[in-house]
Amino acid sequence: YLKYISVSKILKILEKIFKDKFILDNMMASNSINVSKRFNRKVHIDSQLPINSFNLTTDVVVMISIDDFRVSNGATKVWPYSHKSGIRIHKQNKKKPSKNFQYLKSSKGSASILLGQTWHQVGENISQDSRWSFFIHYKRWWMKSSTDFTKCGNKIFKVLSNKQKELFGFT
């Protein structure tokens, strides 16, 4: 998945958001499977800090759709303007998210970009269709990455471009 961490169009958007250097935090894959009425995914933010200002954003998540994201197969729910709330919704007992969410629907191969402080939730998969996605998390350069990429070894290091080495924290 190395080619996805340094797509120039995406990096240009990240540069405009962060207005500073940034690093790769982690990468992962996610699927929304049909759980036969046992759906219990929490509304949450991915950011470590519940920022309430776009200019102070510390984390950005890029989702690459491997399958089409449809309501029936668990498209991500997103709460508009929640990035301005300053609330870590998954740690709140009193504050409940409104029903005013929107589904993030996308086509296979699309990239969606979310500020890390945006409230979101994996949608309920009511079909038998998979909804795979690849998540790439970026954060400001001064924040500790949740993945220690220095442990990846020389074999991986040698195939990285200079930009990828910077994203991995080899600077």
Residue position matching structure tokens 């046992």: 38
pLDDT digits (tens, 9 = 90+) for 52-93: 999 999 999 999 999 999 999 989 999 999 999 998 887 776
For residue 144, CA distances in Å to 59, 153, 168, 170 come to: 11, 19, 11, 13
- Is the pLDDT score of 28 beyond 70? yes
Listed in order, strand segments (DSSP E) in the chain are 22-31, 59-65, 76-78, 102-104, 111-115, 120-121, 132-140
What is the per-residue pLDDT for 34?
A: 62
Global confidence as pTM: 0.89
Q: What are the tens digits of pLDDT across the range 87-125?
A: 888 777 666 777 889 999 999 999 999 999 999 998 888
